[in-house]
Each structure stands twice: as C-alpha cells, then as structure tokens.
Chain A
Amino acid sequence: MMDIISKVIGILLAFALLVIAPLTINTIAEDAVAQRIALNEVERFLDRVSDKASISGNDISDLMLGINTYGSPYDVHIYRYITVVSREANYILSYDCLLSDDNFDTLAENSEIVLNSSDIIQVRVKSVGTTKGAKLLGSFIGFPSNCQEFSLSVSVK
C-alpha cells in the first residue's frame, strides 16, 4: 500500500518538476514580454501623436493592433487633457488641465482630431481577463493575480 502511495506522490512531484515549473516560468516570461510590448506600442503612439499634433482613426487602430498582437488582450482608452489659463478675481491667473470630451473610441478610420500645442494625451492600458501565467501562479502557488494596468502621457509639441 505504502509503495503505491509513494509512487503516486513520486509521479505527481515529477509532473510538478517537469511540467508545471517550466510552464510557469515560461508563461511569466511571456507575460513580461507582452507587457513590455504594450508599453513600447503606447510610447510609439504617444511620440507620433505628439510630433504631428493630431490623432487619426488610423493611429488608434495601429495602437490597438500593436498592443494586442502578442496574445494578451488589453483594453485601451485615450484621453485628452487641455491646458487652459483662466482669469480669477484680481487678475490672478490659474493654470488648469481639463479633460476634453473628445471621444477617441468611436473615431472613424479616416477622420482626425487636431490637437493644440501643450495638450496632454494620456493612454490608459488595462489587461482584460487573466493570462496563462497569472492563472498558473494563482492556482498552484496562490500568488495573487494582479491586474496589469498602467497609464502614460505626453505633452503635444
């Protein structure tokens, strides 16, 4: 009886050692690459938008394609903040940063939104669902599967 139990334990451990461990390490690396690719794509998009001072539907579809190209699905939102100066009492000026209501999610392929100089464009990226790596870590180790989320912004030149 003990023989069988120890054999079963042995097989389980061998499975853990030979399959689960390398798989986990591999998927963790994949997650990191996907996240890095998403960040690079966002940076590329922001550079382009900042240089040409406009956002077109093509820019956005390029960004979506680039971010989702590695397999992990991401939710992307673009926001435009307009830096404004307004006069308060006694000629005191206040410098503010206001969120504009431009809707970039429904921007058509060939239409374009022209941006002002010194507007701030923010891209928020959030991973949708869990990745394989997060699932493996969560189910075998109990590591919390934190949602990957970041945002980056640039000032329009």
Chain B
Amino acid sequence: MKNFFGIVLIFVVVFLMSLLPSIINIKKNNEAAFRQTLVSKAIDNAGEAAALACVSSDGIGYEYSNDKIVFTPDRIANAFATSMCVSYGIPTVKSNIDDIINCIPTIVLATNDGYYIAEWEQLDEAGAFELVWQPKKAYIIDSNPDNSASGIMYAITLDKASAKIINKSNLALTVTDNYALIPYSSEQMLQWVNKAISRDVNAILTRYSEKYNRAETQNFYLSMSDNSKSGINRIEQPTLIVMIRGLNIDNGTPINAAAVNGIEITDKDFIVGWTSNGTKYYSPASNLPAGVLGAKMFKSKSEAARAGYSPYIK
C-alpha cells in the first residue's frame, strides 16, 4: 500500500512538473497572439492613414474644382510610419519614422488611370538609399508586344471612364470612352493590369533582397479570383499596398506583412486662412473657430503653410 502511494506521489510530482512549463507556455502564447492582433490592427490603421495622406496631400495636377482628385504618393511612407509610431506610443521623431520606413521594401499606389511604385535608390554615389517614387505608369495592353512598330496599344482605366488607343505603325492616338473598341473582355483587362503590377513588385522585392543579401524567395502575387484565401485579392479600384519586411517594434517577432487599402472619396474639406491679432492662422473649414472674418480659401494645408499661415490649434 505504501509503495503504491509512493508511486502515485511520484506520478503526481512528474505531472505537476510537466504542467508548469505548459502553463507558462499558455501565458506566453496568449501574449504573443494578442501582440499579433495588435500589430495587424496597427498596420491596418496605418495603411488607412497612408491612404488618407495620398488624397489630402498636394502635388502636380491636384484639382479641387471639377470633382476630380488626383492621388499623390509623396507623403504615404511618412504618414504610415507616423501612424505606426502613435499606435505603439513611441515618439514621432525622425529617427523612429526612418526606422519604420527602412522596413518598407516597396509601396504600390494603383489609381484609376495608372499606378505609382516606390523603390529604394541611391540618389548619388556617396548618398544614402532613399525610398523614391517612380514616374506613374499607365495600364497599357499591347496587342503585339514583340514588335514595336506594328499592332495597337490600349491605355485603359480601372473605372472605364476613358481609354487611349495608339496605333504603333503610324502613332495615331484616339481618345475614347467607348470600351467596345477594345477587343478584350473586362476580365482580361483586369488580369493584364494585375499581372503588370505584381511583375513590377516582384522585380523590386528581388532587387531589395539582393541589396540586403537575403536568400528568401519572393512570391508576391495578386490573386486572379475574387475571394482567394492566399495572396492579395486583385486590384479593381484605387488601392494602396504597403509591403513590410522585418519590422520589429516591441522586441517581438519581426513582422512581414502587406497593408492593403481601397480608396474612395465621399467628401472634401477646404482649408481656411484668416488673420487674428496680426497672426495668420489656417484651419479646416469644418473646424473653424466662431467669428472668423476675412477668410481666404486654400486647397491644402501645405498651400496655406507656403502662403505664411501657421496651424491653428485650439
């Protein structure tokens, strides 16, 4: 009986000892899962902030008068990094923002009539690498890609508002909104657009890996079906994709992710400038203090700042 009791005791002790690490594991796994959710939400929100920044920043061809808004990519990386910093409660100083931007291999901004793509480039031989936006590329379908002197090229838009048809043999240009002139189905056009974008992204990711001597395989792709469980769903409307590689903020596992945001504009706001006690202030029209007289309208905060107005903060 005594022996039996002793054996049971040994079993209990062994069981308890094996339980201990598993309890600690459960605790650690819970923490890790929570951190992961937090990261994904922070990245989502940062992507949203970046999408907002490409609408509200100003640049070449920014039109407010005729309901036509041109997306400009200049502040996307900065807005993304700032939002990530605030999400994690770390100061939004330049070194922190640069650390986060350093983990972005490439950004794609697909608008209705073309796409922008950013790549790390060394601007001069001694200079540091910078994330530089390439010139906007149109969505072009070439009926005869092997021969540059024959065939027809079609420059299409995602919303099918207009198309340009270029005859390569005599360089005749036709601008039309009649998509019946284009001998491809909507499905084929979308596939063409998505293939062009994913080819460019893959090329940039490969160059980025070579630069950092990473032997990882790059397999970014935009899925061709609507509800794919892998990859990123295909681009059908203005979209912003921010790729993240090896981002490590809270000493956890480095994050490799992609923030994807669709962009749709429903409302717009003006910036109003006024003079109060000799100081020039600007503020969004929706948040003006009472009793402002002699106001001046601006298209963006940057334009107001350039005109010598300072931000008005209550």
Give the interface of A toward B (CB within 8 A): 3, 6, 9-10, 13-14, 16-17, 21, 24-25, 28-29, 31-32, 35-36, 39, 43, 46, 50, 53, 81-87, 91, 93, 95-98, 100-102, 114-118, 120, 122, 124, 137, 141, 143, 150-155, 157
* Residues of B with C-beta under 8 A to A29: 26, 30
> How many residue pairs, one in A and one in B, have C-beta atoms under 8 Å apart?
142
* Residues of A with C-beta under 8 A to B313: 82, 84, 98, 100
Assess whether A155 is in contact with B52, with CB atoms less than 8 Å apart.
Answer: yes
CA distance A25 to B26 in the complex (A): 8
CA distance A120 to B78 in the complex (A): 14
Assess whether A141 is in contact with B23, with CB atoms less than 8 Å apart.
Answer: yes
B286 contacts A by Cβ under 8 Å: yes
**Residue in B2, B16, B56, B269 whose CB lies within 8 Å of A21:** B16
Assess whether A153 is in contact with B86, with CB atoms less than 8 Å apart.
Answer: yes
B256 contacts A by Cβ under 8 Å: no
7 A-B contact pairs sorted by A residue (CB < 8 Å): A13-B13, A39-B38, A84-B311, A85-B304, A95-B75, A122-B86, A150-B38
B-side binding surface: helix, strand, loop or mixed?
Answer: helix
A-side binding surface: helix, strand, loop or mixed?
Answer: mixed
Mark contacts of B187-224 with chain A using CB atoms, 8 A cut-off: 1 yes-contact digit, 0 otherwise: 00000000000000000000000000000000000000
Assess whether A85 is in contact with B83, with CB atoms less than 8 Å apart.
Answer: no
Assess whether B12 is in contact with A17, with CB atoms less than 8 Å apart.
Answer: yes
CA distance A83 to B92 in the complex (A): 11
* Residues of B with C-beta under 8 A to A150: 34, 38
CA distance A47 to B192 in the complex (A): 35
* Residues of B with C-beta under 8 A to A116: 269, 283-284, 286-287
B149 contacts A by Cβ under 8 Å: no
* Residues of B with C-beta under 8 A to A115: 287
Q: With A10-B5, A14-B12, A28-B30 in contact, do A39 and B286 touch (Cβ < 8 Å)?
A: no
Assess whether B23 is in contact with A24, with CB atoms less than 8 Å apart.
Answer: yes
CA distance A6 to B86 in the complex (A): 58
B19 contacts A by Cβ under 8 Å: yes
* Residues of A with C-beta under 8 A to B172: none
Q: With A95-B75, A100-B314, A137-B23 in contact, do A13 and B12 touch (Cβ < 8 Å)?
A: yes
Assess whether A155 is in contact with B49, with CB atoms less than 8 Å apart.
Answer: yes
B9 contacts A by Cβ under 8 Å: yes
Assess whether B49 is in contact with A120, with CB atoms less than 8 Å apart.
Answer: yes
Which chain B residues numbered 110 to 139 have a C-beta less than 8 Å away from chain A? Answer: none
B20 contacts A by Cβ under 8 Å: yes
Considering only CB atoms, which chain B residue lies closest to A156 in the complex? B52
* Residues of B with C-beta under 8 A to A36: 34, 37
